[in-house]
């Protein structure tokens, strides 16, 4: 396969004495989630060929992306069509090379009509998995009716789609318990890993002002000069901050902290972090009361209602690690029993 693809074979115990079906998994490169998802589907008995449609792996691809797409877009020149054409052409070529029995597309937000026509014309069984809000995609209801089944990470959006005649199903996000984590030291502080949005800046700033130790991770928080240039921003919140870290290190950092803050904002469903933090033994402080669908509040995770409540909880988890340890262990048990990518892959087989 290309520099953006690889294959994960079904393990012998999952084959059941038969030749495995070939699944073509088309995924964004985002945080490498495709590796965990491919392994979960392989455990269901598929030989999984992965194509990351927005991974620009070679030096030439990186230079082309930066010079012909990113920089003109920053300068106000719309390069969306050029990106879609490039990503689509590579995805079609990878699909033809893989010759799969079925296709699972995750997001697919920069894949054009030619890619979907290739799948539909071949009559390949397919699924579209939206592990992000529907509003972040440009799909029409007409398209979603034709392409289904569609899996949504948000119950409300799955119900909305079903009401519009889409073959839609609710499948929450999950986490990978098999991920090997680097060793990181325990920290008596709260951490946040993720993008910088105004509501997140306000909460973390309030925590710091109240004397609760807190640290943010990500290029939009980092004070490093390279990150200031990469994000085209010079100003940064006055908070302790680190640069981008890979997913494995993010798992480890959140598990090692006194508590890991999960701030969703206006998202319809629960982000991967909802399951990652408790799954890897971290103590989660989350802003959504509906997390009760997955975890018991105050026993397996902590739910905060506003900044003052977060400050109160933050002070306690830093001062009373034994209390936090009981909650993090209960959250870990629940996550491993119900919320892994393997659980989600098994769920999807019914659709």
What is the reported pLDDT for 223? 86
- The pLDDT confidence band at residue 69, using thresholds 50, 70 and 90, is confident
Task: Name which residue leads in pLDDT, 267 or 338.
Answer: 338
Average per-residue pLDDT in the chain?
92
How far is it, in rounded angstroms, from Cα 136 to Cα 307? 27
If you average pLDDT over residues 71-98, what whole number do you get?
90
* pLDDT confidence band for 233 (50 / 70 / 90): confident
- What's the pLDDT at 1? 46
Mean pLDDT (whole number) for 318-343: 97
**Taking the alpha carbons of 315, 320, 323, 324 in that order, is the dihedral positive or negative?**
positive
Q: Name the 3-class secondary structure at 138.
A: coil
pLDDT digits (tens, 9 = 90+) for 143-174: 999 998 999 999 999 999 999 999 999 999 99
Domain boundaries, the chain: 5-174+341-348, 187-338
Q: Reply yes or no on whether the pLDDT at 266 is more than 50.
A: yes
Q: What whole-number distance in Å separates Cα of residue 241 and Cα of residue 187?
A: 14
| Alpha-carbon span 115 to 101, nearest angstrom | 16
The confidence score (pLDDT) of residue 66 equals 80
State the average pLDDT over residues 3-7.
Answer: 78
Same fold, 5-174+341-348 and 187-338: yes
Tell me what pLDDT residue 205 has.
Answer: 96
Which CATH class name applies to 187-338?
Answer: alpha beta
Which positions ≥6 away from 320 have C-beta within 8 Å?
none
Q: State the average pLDDT over residues 37-46.
A: 96
The per-residue pLDDT for 4 is 66
Q: What is the pTM of this model?
A: 0.89
User: Which has more pLDDT, 182 or 283?
Assistant: 283
CA distances from 88 to 61, 95, 116, 150 (A): 14, 10, 9, 20
Listed in order, strand segments (DSSP E) in the chain are: 5-8, 21-27, 46-52, 102-106, 126-130, 150-152, 168-170, 187-193, 214-217, 241-242, 257-262, 284-286, 302-303
Please give the residue that has the higher pLDDT: either 277 or 30. Answer: 277
CATH of domain 5-174+341-348: 3.40.50.2000
Q: Helix or strand or coil: residue 320? A: coil
pLDDT (mean) for 193-213: 94
């Amino acid at each position: 396969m290309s520099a953006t693809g690889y294959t994960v074979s079904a393990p012998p115990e999952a084959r059941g004495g038969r030749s495995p079906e070939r699944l073509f998994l088309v995924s964004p490169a985002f945080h490498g989630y495709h590796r965990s998802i491919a392994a979960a589907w392989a455990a269901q008995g598929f030989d999984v060929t992965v194509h990351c449609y927005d991974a620009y792996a070679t030096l030439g691809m990186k230079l082309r992306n930066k010079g012909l797409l990113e920089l003109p877009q920053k300068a106000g020149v719309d390069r969306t069509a050029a990106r879609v054409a490039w990503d689509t052409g590579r995805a079609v070529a990878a699909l033809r090379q893989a010759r799969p029995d079925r296709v699972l597309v995750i997001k697919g937000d920069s894949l054009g009509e030619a890619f979907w026509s290739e799948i539909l014309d071949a009559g390949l069984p397919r699924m579209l998995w939206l592990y992000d809000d529907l509003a972040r995609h440009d799909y029409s209801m007409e398209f979603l009716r034709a392409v289904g089944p569609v899996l949504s990470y948000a119950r409300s959006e799955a119900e909305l789609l079903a009401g519009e005649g889409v073959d839609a199903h609710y499948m929450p996000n999950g986490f990978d318990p098999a991920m090997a984590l680097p060793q990181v030291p325990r920290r008596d502080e709260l951490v946040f890993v993720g993008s910088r949005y105004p509501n997140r800046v306000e909460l973390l700033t309030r925590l710091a002002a109240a004397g609760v130790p807190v640290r943010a991770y990500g290029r939009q928080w980092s004070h490093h000069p390279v990150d200031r240039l990469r994000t085209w921003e010079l100003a940064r919140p006055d908070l302790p901050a680190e640069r981008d870290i890979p997913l494995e290190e993010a798992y480890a950092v959140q598990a090692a902290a006194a508590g890991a803050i999960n701030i969703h904002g206006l998202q319809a469903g629960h982000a991967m972090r909802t399951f990652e933090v408790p799954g890897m033994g971290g103590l989660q402080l989350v802003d959504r009361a509906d997390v009760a669908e997955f975890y018991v509040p105050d026993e397996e995770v902590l739910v905060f209602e506003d900044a003052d409540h977060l400050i109160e909880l933050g002070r306690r988890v830093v001062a009373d690690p034994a209390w936090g340890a009981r909650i993090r262990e209960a959250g870990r048990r629940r996550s491993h029993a119900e919320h892994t990518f393997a659980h989600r892959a098994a769920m999807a087989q019914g659709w």
